[in-house]
Structure 1
């Protein structure tokens, strides 16, 4: 892969000379302002990070998480670009690329969760499971298909697998390239380099292999509906089926942000204490005969606690945890930077199939933090109750919306209740459906109508989904 193509500033819809004649910003700086000014980005303030529908001003939302990821992305971009110039000395990497990389990564951090449905990753699970259960059972009767068939008999394998492997990452690409109706059907019309960076998994739903040693195959990266768009991005950036190098950096920044933030938020919510955190870290250190870096971080946590006492703070545990997390973040940023540099050749030729932190000293601490968060936060009663509620809310909405959508835009007359359910879906989303369904075969139109439902649900905030469910059930 070549940096000149990888940093492609072209857009799906070229900007006219008149539009850009007086604009001195780079293409990637323009991307940043398009994202920040979008309603889709603002809606992240009411989407779950760890604790759904939380009233605390401190606990993170998807918005604050995305801002943190964006910040880490920029820091990693600065470090890695400098290494490419001063140590790796790749002659094809021009000096101006350093700023471009930082701008692209900063934008990618803002966008990486923008397609997530309500209620976090559990929301994705609910959507996947609903379609696995219902696609083989829902009948569709139109003259063009003959006798009544189930949806799974009509949709081709990739169309079906798109729903069975539903992912917020995949939805992000769809949202920014189509659904966010800014000027036309091209969404935010962002640069192709940025779009390539947010495609974490450059495979279709037919090629997902969760057991593969190559992490790029673990999830799908694009819908059947967006296959032509994906090919355009892939060709323009010279990827040839491989992951964009900046995607590894985005993924590392996301891991660093959420692994450390989950611990801090769990402390604030009273799910873990200083003593619990220290005990869990020491337990893993003893069991795994951990490396020196891991042991030194444990000593740092103790030292920060002593400093808190010395400074006379009200809660030395909180003081220690917050300061320790900053130290951990710095260490992990360093580890990710070194890993990118040491695997530079494999990353650039597309043969690197791991996360940047795999095989580094930082891997142990990342895994430990993840285990602790699962044990004390994700498996806590309040979270489990919310997830049960989320399942009820999203399943109910899918139960009502999908039967209405499958006959929308067909000759079959909709029931009064179906007409009302369809009326709730954004006119912009329906406009996009009509633009992209024009001239398509009937099975693909049906598939696009199912996507219309998931588009609508993914655009909901946690509060809106809950409120709509309550209103439709007469609970308000």
Structure 2
């Protein structure tokens, strides 16, 4: 990797902690570039992500509910924006680099399939069935693949050529076998070290965002009820606070008041617990952070409550028969597409046909993973319904 020279015109804010990710100390880009004027390297990464094709597609990719089911349900795009907002708030309080957590937040789902985790699961199954040597499919790794190879915007390189610290944050987990093939960003999985605090923080901001907005979407859809949520301690506690303060509040306002208070509680606990852990270890540099145990996390009590909420959502929302019906249809669409293209790769668009020689199954997975929900439905209709073109 070639380090990008620091831009002397862009000094690091004095408020940034010494153990934070400082842009002028970045491990650089895979391909050396002249520094941008008026932006740090992390800001430049954020801008490249926002302008990417993969980022725009997130608007039409499922979070829990398929995109066309309702205008107010979250999509991968709105989810990514919520993660960035939460992560930046905490980063500022911990004196971490807000620009880096924003870049990681906005990029973390770029490789997600259409139809959410249902699409990922069946695409992984197809990859393992048709090309076991390729190592399956995982959206985290695909997000890295998007920014390293698949985006086609620049004349000098494939991908977005992001700095190491952003790429490190995108890759939240990885098998040891895959890590050996990934070079610099795979090293920490082999050495069992930690990523930057910015990467650790973004991972938990992702959890805060999806758990709480899935409550909101689940209630809005009618698939879960307020009575059911009373069994979840963190929800029941905050709902009681809202009802004690407001008399006769409309249900929708009561829900949003409760959810926002839950998010606030999680943010405060995550900030305070992480600050205490950082103070105990007292890292002086980002390299000290990498050699320390994970320093960003919840207190034991709040961690238990957050886990209870995750179990509730899995059992009552994600496994709801109406959601399962939708995911079943989505899985059939993805499997049908994969099988059809594998049997006849010349049906792939030209740029993907050109990649088939390097690995047919991976080229097909790249194409399907890049689809939006509605594009996948349309492609399936073209291939399998008589009279469509």
TM range (shorter): 0.7 to 0.9
Give the whole-Å Cα distance in 2 for the aligned partners of 1:458 and 1:378. Answer: 21
Query: Match of 2:302?
Result: 362
**How do residues 255-294 of structure 1 correspond to structure 2 at under 5 angstroms?**
255-278=207-230, 280-281=231-232, 294=234
CA contact (8 A) 1:177 1:186 kept: yes
1:332 counterpart = 2:266: yes
Give the whole-Å Cα distance in 2 for the aligned partners of 1:351 and 1:362. Answer: 23
Instruction: Give deviations 1:306-342, integer Å, cap 9, x for gaps.
Output: 55544xx5xx332222111111111111222233233
Shift of 1:469: 0.6
Q: CA RMSD in A?
A: 2.9
Query: Match of 1:66?
Result: 80
Query: Match of 2:4?
Result: none
How many corresponding residue pairs?
A: 360
Out of 10, 33, 36, the position equivalent to 2:28 is 10
**How do residues 402-441 of structure 1 correspond to structure 2 at under 5 angstroms?**
402-404=342-344, 418-419=345-346, 421-422=347-348, 424=349, 427=351, 429=352, 433=355
**How do residues 434-449 of structure 1 correspond to structure 2 at under 5 angstroms?**
446=358, 448-449=359-360
Out of 101, 104, 108, the position equivalent to 1:112 is 108
Instruction: Give deviations 1:251-287, integer Å, cap 9, x for gaps.
Output: 1100000010110101111122323322x22xxx5xx
Query: Match of 1:322?
Result: 256
**How do residues 169-208 of structure 1 correspond to structure 2 at under 5 angstroms?**
169-184=140-155, 185-201=157-173, 203-204=175-176, 206=177
Structure 1 residue runs of 4 or more that deviate by more than 6 Å after TM superposition: none
1:400 counterpart = 2:352: no
Instruction: Give deviations 1:130-188, integer Å, cap 9, x for gaps.
Output: 233344xxxxxxxxxxxxxxxx5xx4xxx3xx21xx21001000001110011144311
CA contact (8 A) 1:66 1:109 kept: yes
Shift of 1:304: 1.6
TM-score computed with the length of structure 1 as normaliser = 0.69
Bigger-Rg structure (1/2):
1
**How do residues 33-48 of structure 1 correspond to structure 2 at under 5 angstroms?**
33-48=47-62
Give the whole-Å Cα distance in 2 for the aligned partners of 1:247 and 1:61. Answer: 22
Query: Match of 2:373?
Result: 462
CA contact (8 A) 1:115 1:459 kept: yes
Give the whole-Å Cα distance in 2 for the aligned partners of 1:384 and 1:114. Answer: 24
CA contact (8 A) 1:115 1:169 kept: yes
Segments of 5+ residues of structure 1 without an aligned counterpart are 82-97, 136-151, 207-219, 286-293, 405-417, 435-444
Segments of 5+ residues of structure 2 without an aligned counterpart are 1-17
CA contact (8 A) 2:194 2:289 kept: no
CA contact (8 A) 1:9 1:27 kept: no
1:244 counterpart = 2:195: yes
1:301 counterpart = 2:301: no
Shift of 1:366: 1.3
Q: 1:203 to 1:473 in 2, by over 3 A?
A: closer
Deviates more, 1:58-67 or 1:347-356: 347-356
